[in-house]
Structure 1
Amino acid sequence: MAHDVVRRVEELATRLAATAEETERLGKLSDESVKLVREAGVMRLLQPTDFGGYAAHPRDFAEAVMAVAKVCGSTGWVCGVGGVHPWEMALMDRKLQHEVWGTNPDTWIASPYAPQGIATPTDGGYLLRGRWNFSSGTDHCDWIFLGALVGDADGKPAQPPKTLHVVLPRRDYTIVENSWDVIGLCGTGSKDVIVDGAFIPAYRTIDSAEVAGGELAAERAGRTDTVYRMPFWAMFPLGITAAVVGISEGALAAHLDYQRDRVAAVGGKIREDPYVLSAISEAASEIAASRTQLLDGISRLYDLADEGKEITFADRATVRRNQVRCAWRAVAAVDEIFARSGGNAVRRQNIMQRFWRDAHVGLQHAIHTPGPIYHSTALLSMGIEPEGALRNLI
């Protein structure tokens, strides 16, 4: 049975679809799009119940993201990225959670997690400096998660390296306008942010290694809901891959609408062309397979956590491999149908080209880089433990 939030998204789908053009033109989510996402409750799906959230099954979160992305890729992407942040915030110090949600449970949190800054230890916390790319939805957020390397006395990365996730209020960082000029996912507003010496109290930080496995962070935070015992590198990619799969579903739906009554330039109705119809069926099956495998993988990990069993590195790697493959399989299917949509499909007024662009830009995210993930899981299948960089993003 679909979660109430998923049903609300589906009920609002026509209105969300109507916001997509303005969102792309603005280079950030339109006010109406933000309003509808808040109304549906997508960003609160993984938020703890004591702060107005649902603490939902991650499968429900992925389905909500796909439902949004199916009608507006940029909005779905922001939901997929930003919707995971309440999950990690639940693992932080309760004092910080009260600061973020105490007066408004609909407060949004941005990121990115790439350690593009240095956090230098000082009394009571850290001083942070750096510039980060790709802060999706940042214009609509009041707080931000940032990845940072712990620095030494000279402000250089300490050895051995240690990565933190740190949290800042909006007043402590600068959003760089005009830093998001792209060909797809234009409306995500994934702008650069700069921090120049802001003080980060220690309680607003967490060791990224604690979050990676899930169990330790949940215990320290006193969170008993199963969802908070999940590993970071299954949860964070989930929202991003779900957005790409949802965008692919939107491309398929737009293709079907377009081809239903189309007549080819050389004559003949497309719905009577067996080659196009065959491509449609193959693409539909591939996209459906991506959805099924994505939901199955996160559900398997959730079941392990729910039963109190260990989620091993091999478990995580298998799910990550399949998440990556889901995205690439779905976008390849979009390519097959887009290539059979004729010249008019590339016109700006045809929404298929927007879905096509958004899908390809979604593959550019680091979590969809197949090489190291595939390398790692292949070694594991041979009984060989991956080392070093082959363990990254897993």
Structure 2
Amino acid sequence: MAHEVVQKVAEIAPQLAATAEETERLGRLTDESVKLMREAGVMRLLQPTDFGGYAAHPRDFAEAVMAVAAHCGSTGWVCGVGGVHPWEMALMDRKLQEEVWGANPDTWIASPYAPQGVATPTDGGYILRGRWNFSSGTDHCDWIFLGALVGDADGKPAQPMKGLHVVLPRKDYTIVDESWDVIGLCGTGSKDIIVDGAFIPEYRTIDSMEVAEGEIAAERAGRADTVYRLPFWAMFPLGITSAVIGIAEGALAAHLAYQRPRVSAMGTAIKDDPYVLSAIGEAAAEIQSSRIQLIDGISRLYDLADSGKEITFADRAMQRRNQVRCAWRAVAAVDEIFARSGGNAVRRQNVMQRFWRDAHVGLQHAIHAPGGIYHATALTAMGIEPEGMLRALI
């Protein structure tokens, strides 16, 4: 049975779809979209129960993100990215969790995690400077996770390099308003962030490698729920790829609605065109396969953690390989049906072109880059341990 949040998303689908065009025009989520997501509880699925969340199975989170993205790609993307942040916040110091959620459990948290800043040690914490790209949904968030490298006395990355995830309140960073001008996922408002000398207390930081391993951070935070013992590089990509698959599902639904009464320029009713129908059937199977494989993969990792078994690097690599492939397969399927939708599909009033653009921009995210992930997984399948950068993002 679908999680209650997924059911709520299904109920508000018409209102959500109605906001999509304005969301794109504004370059951020509409106030109505944000209100709908708060009421449905999508962002609280991975939030701990002691702070008003569900601590849900990651499968439920993935299905909720897909359901949102099928009606508005930008809103689905923001939920997929931002919805993972409560999961990591659960691994942080309880003092910080109280600061973030104590007064309002519906507080949203932004990111990005790329280490585009330097955190220089000082008494009691760090001084942070840097500029970060791609802070999805940041206009609607009161706190932010940022990736940073620990600095030396000169403010340069120290050697050997050590990565941190640091957390800042809204007053300590600047959103660059004109920094999001793109061709797809326009409504995500994934703007640049600037930090110029903010002090980060030690308790608002976490070692990025501890989060990547999963079990270490969960034990330190005293979190017993299975979901918090999963590795970061399984959870963070899950939300993003779920959004891409949901966008593909939305594209398929829009394509079917558009093609049902359509007659081609040659006078053939599309419902009687065996070539187009064959392409639709194949694309639908590919998109459904992507959904099933993504959910199966994260469920397998969850089952390992739930049974107390180790999640090995090989397990993580295989999940990442399959997750990447799910995204590419789904977007390729969108291409197949879009190419058979005729010239009118590119008109702005046809929602298919928005789904098509959103799908391709979603594929541009770093977690969908296949080369290193496929390489590392092939090595592990041969019993060879990947080294160096081949272990990155896994």
Question: Does residue 121 of structure 1 match 2:121?
Answer: yes
- Partner in structure 1 of residue 361 of structure 2: 361
Q: Secondary structure at the residue paired with 1:341?
A: coil
- Partner in structure 2 of residue 12 of structure 1: 12
What are the Cα deviations for residues 154-173 of structure 1, in whole angstroms up to 9, with x where unaligned? Answer: 00000000000000000000
- Partner in structure 2 of residue 162 of structure 1: 162
**Following the alignment from structure 1 to structure 2, what is the Cα–Cα distance between the partners of residues 236 and 268?**
45
- Partner in structure 2 of residue 205 of structure 1: 205
**Following the alignment from structure 1 to structure 2, what is the Cα–Cα distance between the partners of residues 67 and 5?**
10
Matches within 5 A, 1:253-268: 253-268=253-268
What are the Cα deviations for residues 112-139 of structure 1, in whole angstroms up to 9, with x where unaligned? Answer: 0000000000000000000000000000
- Partner in structure 1 of residue 393 of structure 2: 393
**Following the alignment from structure 1 to structure 2, what is the Cα–Cα distance between the partners of residues 218 and 384?**
29
Q: Secondary structure at the residue paired with 1:360?
A: helix
Deviation at 1:98, TM superposition (A): 0.2
One-letter code of the match for 1:187? G
**Following the alignment from structure 2 to structure 1, what is the Cα–Cα distance between the partners of residues 76 and 214?**
25
Q: Which sits farther off after the overlay, 264-273 or 195-204?
A: 264-273
**Following the alignment from structure 1 to structure 2, what is the Cα–Cα distance between the partners of residues 7 and 237?**
23
Deviation at 1:262, TM superposition (A): 0.3
- Partner in structure 1 of residue 26 of structure 2: 26
What are the Cα deviations for residues 92-149 of structure 1, in whole angstroms up to 9, with x where unaligned? Answer: 0000000000000000000000000000000000000000000000000000000000
- Partner in structure 2 of residue 303 of structure 1: 303
**Following the alignment from structure 2 to structure 1, what is the Cα–Cα distance between the partners of residues 106 and 115?**
27
**Following the alignment from structure 1 to structure 2, what is the Cα–Cα distance between the partners of residues 177 and 292?**
38
**Following the alignment from structure 1 to structure 2, what is the Cα–Cα distance between the partners of residues 155 and 323?**
37
**Following the alignment from structure 1 to structure 2, what is the Cα–Cα distance between the partners of residues 231 and 118?**
24
One-letter code of the match for 1:327? A
- Partner in structure 1 of residue 44 of structure 2: 44
One-letter code of the match for 1:235? M
**Following the alignment from structure 2 to structure 1, what is the Cα–Cα distance between the partners of residues 43 and 209?**
25
**Following the alignment from structure 1 to structure 2, what is the Cα–Cα distance between the partners of residues 219 and 380?**
27
Deviation at 1:48, TM superposition (A): 0.2
Matches within 5 A, 1:276-355: 276-355=276-355
- Partner in structure 2 of residue 136 of structure 1: 136
If the length of structure 2 is used for normalisation, what is the TM-score?
Answer: 1.00
Q: Secondary structure at the residue paired with 1:330?
A: helix
**Following the alignment from structure 2 to structure 1, what is the Cα–Cα distance between the partners of residues 145 and 19?**
27
Deviation at 1:268, TM superposition (A): 1.3
**Following the alignment from structure 2 to structure 1, what is the Cα–Cα distance between the partners of residues 279 and 268?**
17
Matches within 5 A, 1:221-236: 221-236=221-236
One-letter code of the match for 1:364? Q
Deviation at 1:266, TM superposition (A): 1.1
- Partner in structure 2 of residue 79 of structure 1: 79
**Following the alignment from structure 1 to structure 2, what is the Cα–Cα distance between the partners of residues 46 and 125?**
28
**Following the alignment from structure 2 to structure 1, what is the Cα–Cα distance between the partners of residues 15 and 30?**
12
**Following the alignment from structure 2 to structure 1, what is the Cα–Cα distance between the partners of residues 313 and 41?**
32
**Following the alignment from structure 1 to structure 2, what is the Cα–Cα distance between the partners of residues 308 and 161?**
31
One-letter code of the match for 2:216? L
Q: Secondary structure at the residue paired with 2:145?
A: strand
**Following the alignment from structure 2 to structure 1, what is the Cα–Cα distance between the partners of residues 183 and 175?**
20
**Following the alignment from structure 1 to structure 2, what is the Cα–Cα distance between the partners of residues 241 and 161?**
29
- Partner in structure 2 of residue 249 of structure 1: 249
One-letter code of the match for 1:265? A
**Following the alignment from structure 1 to structure 2, what is the Cα–Cα distance between the partners of residues 389 and 230?**
21
Q: Secondary structure at the residue paired with 1:14?
A: helix
One-letter code of the match for 2:68? V
One-letter code of the match for 1:366? A
Q: Secondary structure at the residue paired with 2:200?
A: strand
If the length of structure 1 is used for normalisation, what is the TM-score?
Answer: 1.00
One-letter code of the match for 2:140? H
**Following the alignment from structure 1 to structure 2, what is the Cα–Cα distance between the partners of residues 381 and 303?**
21
What are the Cα deviations for residues 247-288 of structure 1, in whole angstroms up to 9, with x where unaligned? Answer: 000000000000000010111101100000000000000000
One-letter code of the match for 1:234? A
Q: Secondary structure at the residue paired with 1:119?
A: strand
**Following the alignment from structure 1 to structure 2, what is the Cα–Cα distance between the partners of residues 366 and 191?**
16
**Following the alignment from structure 1 to structure 2, what is the Cα–Cα distance between the partners of residues 139 and 342?**
37
Q: Secondary structure at the residue paired with 2:71?
A: coil
What are the Cα deviations for residues 22-53 of structure 1, in whole angstroms up to 9, with x where unaligned? Answer: 00000000000000000100000000000000
Deviation at 1:14, TM superposition (A): 0.6
Q: Secondary structure at the residue paired with 2:206?
A: strand
Deviation at 1:224, TM superposition (A): 0.2
Gaps of 5+ in 2: none
**Following the alignment from structure 1 to structure 2, what is the Cα–Cα distance between the partners of residues 271 and 357?**
26
Q: Secondary structure at the residue paired with 2:340?
A: coil
Percent identical among aligned pairs is 86
**Following the alignment from structure 2 to structure 1, what is the Cα–Cα distance between the partners of residues 123 and 20?**
47
- Partner in structure 1 of residue 272 of structure 2: 272
Q: Secondary structure at the residue paired with 1:168?
A: strand
**Following the alignment from structure 1 to structure 2, what is the Cα–Cα distance between the partners of residues 390 and 30?**
40
**Following the alignment from structure 1 to structure 2, what is the Cα–Cα distance between the partners of residues 321 and 28?**
31
